[in-house]
Amino acid sequence: MKTSRWVVLFLGLTVCSGKEVAITILHTTDLHATVLPTMDYEGTKDVGGLARCAWMIRRIRAQEKNVLLVDAGDLYQGAALGYLTEGAAMIRAINALRYDSWTLGNHEFDWGIEKIAARIAEARVPVLAANIHHKPVANTPAAITDAFRKIQPYVIREVEGVKVGIVGLDTPGIPSWSRPRLIPGISVEESVAALRRVIPRMKADGCAILVLTTHQGIREQGDDHANQLYAISRAFPEMDVIIGGHTHRTHVQQQINGILYTQANYWGTYLGRVDLAYDTDKRKLISRKAELVPMDASVGMDEEFLRLLKSDLEKTEAFLGTKLGEIQDRFHSLKAPKSETPIFNLLCAAIAEALEARGAKTDAVLHGIFNERMVLEPGPITMRDIFAIVPYENTIGVATLTRDQLVEILEENASAYQTGRFRGLWGLTMKLRISAPDGRRVVFVGDREGRSLASDARLRVAFNSYDLASGGMRWNRLRKIVDRPVAGLKEFDFQTRDAVIEYVRKHSPLRAENRGWWSLDRTKSFVPKPGP
């Protein structure tokens, strides 16, 4: 009788010892140095910014017991604040907000190996990227090697005895956007291969919950070289949560092969939130849910956070307000990239002149447009306008091509005519027949006066560094051609934006112009009749 009583008591204690642990994971992605409210791609004003996210983070931390905070990459490049501070302001921001991890994005590498190493060195939060590897090359400074040693594949946060493993993955597409000169010694491993090394270690370390924060996103048409989440989810169904980024999309809550997936858009327009409940008795998650909290005008801005960045924000605002010159006509990028526009011509003329000032004459510039809805009315043109025209940093390279090689590149480009990826041609004339089959869409290439080019003509053509790296494998033919030694590719260190600034200052007041660089041949292509 006595023994039975103690057995009952023991069983009762065992049943009662199990408990439910609530864990909240807050997440940001693709902030691109956006601290203050801004306007999104759809034209909605007064949205986003890390200052609003900071206010909400503070509020949620006050309400919830167990809160983790992570970022999924592209933290500091893409806005003037990041440019002026070389990303340092955003590192101070995540340090102050006590992020539990920062997963690297592709744009972290845009300013070269020295700049990203300096930012990693300054970070007091764990820097994650299981698939980024650095092997020092000749004359690599010790500071760069030391910084890259700080990168971890994962970090573990213990919450009421429950180990939450947070693994980070960058996009494998980095080498297709960044030229080798920007990333010496860097190799990027495929996602599944990297996780096959790391996930077993996390399990061995006792991780009860597995969270992937990745600078990759879901693509409706399936995985590509830069976004591999479907492959990841098939290979690792034991993953509990995937927090995505990179694609600048809104994904509130969905399942990828049974794994909860969520993504918080871009520029802090949403603060992502994942709520988990873990049963320590059953040793499993019993609840997973996600939401995106809109960072609109109903959300305040954190005053303490703003004081931290006050000096940097004031300098940035003064910088953006700097008047560079005057424009006499309406400059716009409407109907771009299919149509030539005054902003396209301004951009390309500036590139050509900057190259000539550095001893590199050019016959042509092949370039795209980022902002397809931009309009500048006659009057002052400021630094803010230039950052709207050129939001990202790119350098320029010049390759010497035969006429036939240029036509190959233009054919590859013509296949994207119906998309925003199409590049306009400046300095030479071109006629396209879009209805023609691949390989036969460029029906004419001539000099700037419209005279046909000789078959043995050799042409000096300028491209930006993004396209020279293949533009995310969109321009593989271009990269293959310009990387041949015979092309004599010469890359320059000046930024495209700096070229536009120099041009505006030198030529103000500016007049808008369209030169008719390219046009469409409306002749119907021959389409053979189907056989019997």
The DSSP string of 205-247 is TT-SEEEEEES----TT---SS--HHHHHHH-TT--EEEE-SS
| Domain with 157 in it | 18-316
Q: Are residues 63 and 94 in the same domain?
A: yes
Q: Are residues 312 and 448 in the same domain?
A: no
Give backbone dihedrals phi and psi of 336, rounded to 5 degrees, phi first: -75, 155
Residue 10 lies in a domain: no
Number of domains composing the chain? 2
Q: Are residues 66 and 180 in the same domain?
A: yes
Question: Half-sphere exposure (CA, 13 Å, Cβ side) for 93?
Answer: 35
Q: Are residues 434 and 478 in the same domain?
A: yes
pLDDT in tens, 144-176: 999 999 999 999 999 999 999 999 999 999 999
Residue 10 pLDDT: 39
Q: Are residues 74 and 222 in the same domain?
A: yes
pLDDT surpasses 50 at 232 = yes
Residue ending a domain, among 282, 316, 350, is 316
pLDDT in tens, 300-347: 999 999 999 999 999 999 999 999 999 999 999 999 999 999 999 999
Distance, CA of 219 to CA of 212 (rounded, Å): 17
Angle between helices 88-96 and 113-122 in degrees, nearest 10: 20
Residue 227 lies in a domain: yes
Q: How confident is the model at residue 524 (pLDDT cuts 50, 70, 90)?
A: low
Residue ending a domain, among 279, 299, 316, is 316
Query: Mean pLDDT throughout 125-138?
Result: 97
Which is nearest to 281 in space by CA: 47, 17, 460, 500?
17
Query: Mean pLDDT throughout 516-520?
Result: 95
Query: Mean pLDDT throughout 201-229?
Result: 97
Q: How confident is the model at residue 379 (pLDDT cuts 50, 70, 90)?
A: very high
Residue 414 lies in a domain: yes
Q: Are residues 23 and 62 in the same domain?
A: yes
Q: Are residues 141 and 247 in the same domain?
A: yes
Distance, CA of 167 to CA of 153 (rounded, Å): 6
Residue 525 lies in a domain: no
Residue 431 lies in a domain: yes
Residue 137 lies in a domain: yes
Q: How confident is the model at residue 92 (pLDDT cuts 50, 70, 90)?
A: very high
Residue 532 lies in a domain: no
Q: Are residues 364 and 466 in the same domain?
A: yes
Q: Are residues 359 and 261 in the same domain?
A: no
pLDDT surpasses 70 at 11 = no
- 259-264 and 284-294: which strand pairing? unpaired
pLDDT surpasses 90 at 66 = yes
Q: Are residues 274 and 332 in the same domain?
A: no
Tell me if 489 sits within 8 A of 482, measured CB to CB.
yes
Structure letter (DSSP) for residue 6: H
Q: Are residues 330 and 376 in the same domain?
A: yes
pLDDT in tens, 408-422: 999 999 999 999 999
Helix (H) or strand (E) holding 159: strand 154-159
CATH number at residue 338: 3.90.780.10
Residue 371 pLDDT: 84
Angle at 228 between CA 225 and CA 231, to 5 degrees: 125
Residue 531 lies in a domain: no
- Measured CA to CA in angstroms, residue 339 lies from 43, 280, 375, 426 at distances of 22, 61, 15, 12
CATH number at residue 26: 3.60.21.10
Residue ending a domain, among 316, 351, 380, is 316
455/324: higher pLDDT: 324
Q: Are residues 397 and 480 in the same domain?
A: yes
